[in-house]
Amino acid sequence: MTSYAAVDLGASSGRVMVGRVGLDSLELSEAHRFPNRPVRVPEGLRWDVLGLYAGVLDGLRAAGQVDSVGIDSWAVDYGLLDEDGALLGNPVHYRDARTQGVAEKVWATVPAAELYAATGLQYAPFNTLYQVTAARSTAQLAQARRLLLMPDLLTYWLTGEQGTELTNASTTQLIDPRTRDWAYGVAERLGIDLGLFAPLRRPGDPAGVLRPEVLEETGLTGPVPVTAVGSHDTASAVAAVPAPDERFAYICTGTWSLAGLELDAPVLTEESRAANFTNELGLDGTVRYLRNIMGLWLLQECVRAWGDPDLGRLLLEASKAPALRSVVDASDAAFLAPGRMPERIAEACRVSGQPVPQSPAEVTRCILDSLALAHRKAVRDAERLAGHPVEVVHMVGGGTRNALLCQLTADACGLPVVAGPTEAAALGNVLVQARSDGLVGDLAGMRRLLVDTQPLTAYEPRGGTERWHAAQARLAGH
């Protein structure tokens, strides 16, 4: 069996996983896990990228000898390098407030409808396009000679080579999803220098080899190649959806919920823009047509505010709380910033005229019902807008450990849910590396291997969907 190190960086933690792949086998184990804690400094919210890099090196040391390395992470954020290749300050966190009001300035030059028609990306205040626009007058951007998205920055530190991986680049709002190349017209109109970006790479492309200093620090024996994978963690996770055919929806669950379809072409209609769907790029010419939902961030922030109670007990109590008593819009940007989440959820219920949840169990049930409702709406909207029938919903990622959320999603959608794998992003990362070595075939072959080797849990819908329809109408004010 061949061994691959998958560096998988999430918004709250990072991990280095080791995948061992044979012709009919796939095993995954955790070598090292480390926290990813943003830091608030006087100028705003920043990523501790040096701490992340140290965690990656520690993880590679713990992994032992591997045949290749791949890195995936969250999207949109970046580091700036000067002309010597040195990092200019800590990368800004996407939850930082610097992009407030920036989108309206961009739309004054390129109207929102034109921007969507050109890039297919949903509005999110933290898209790279808005971050770069917000940084336009800063000394840091003036000094910058290169912009590297987060996984590309860490790859550069490991190898000394610079590139921009396509699946992550497609979240910048500077890529044309039809040509799978830069949206040159948009960048020119907005005065964004695409020369800041390194050349595009595709999943499976070589990204260099570990530098001698990295080999010495990790104890690995070279050469160890680094392979470009689907470096946006959602791209890797969707590649690891164990679907036997194309009639499926997926929900990548974790800090965020990314719910949608895998398509052959983008959907760039005005109706799609109004529904806030995004067209991000995936493996093998696919498009990830999805909606961003706030996800388990809502519960994570509440648990933090409550002093980290036992999560298993909390979910058990939530399962006994009244269903659909109160729901909130889990896509609302009002929940984006950290802090005071229980109070903000209570206020949203109060303003909408619903009963205000009092206990942690009631708040938790409100959150999980709201997420299931948002999953239902995203799946149904995507199916309608893309003309793509859905027979099953695949849930992957860390949220699949939450059996209550999986069951509520099946109930809300009125469709069977297949949950797993939990470490989908790491598995997709590993499989792209293995494919570059010829150990697995096309995307369908990757998925067959997952079905044959990974534990999956099925949830059948209970009862009708009428009460979910009523809750949706209540939330919409009808």
Active-site amino acid positions: 233
The total number of residues written for the chain in this structure: 478
Task: Render 231-271 in DSSP notation, one character per residue.
Answer: -BHHHHHHHT---SSS-EEEEEESSSEEEEEEESS----HH
User: Which amino acid is it at 117?
Assistant: A
Neighbours of 401 (CB within 10 A): 15
Residue with tokens 């007058």: 137
Q: Quick check: 71 and 9 in contact, CB under 8 A?
A: yes
167-195 exposure pattern, b = at least 16 Cβ within 10 A, e = fewer: bbbbbbbbbbbeeeebbeebbeebebeee
How far apart, in Å, are the Cα atoms of 258 and each of 31, 212, 263? 27, 38, 15
Of the chain, the end-to-end C-alpha distance in Å amounts to 58
Q: Quick check: 325 and 346 in contact, CB under 8 A?
A: no
Neighbours of 347 (CB within 10 A): 14
Residue 11 CA to residue 455 CA, distance in Å, equals 25
Q: Which two tokens stand for residue 358?
A: 């009092």
Exposure on the CB side of residue 159, measured as CA atoms within 13 A: 23
Name the CA radius of gyration of the chain, rounded: 21
How far apart, in Å, are the Cα atoms of 248 and each of 6, 142, 244, 260? 26, 46, 9, 9
Residue 369 CA to residue 327 CA, distance in Å, equals 7
Residue 364 CA to residue 183 CA, distance in Å, equals 42
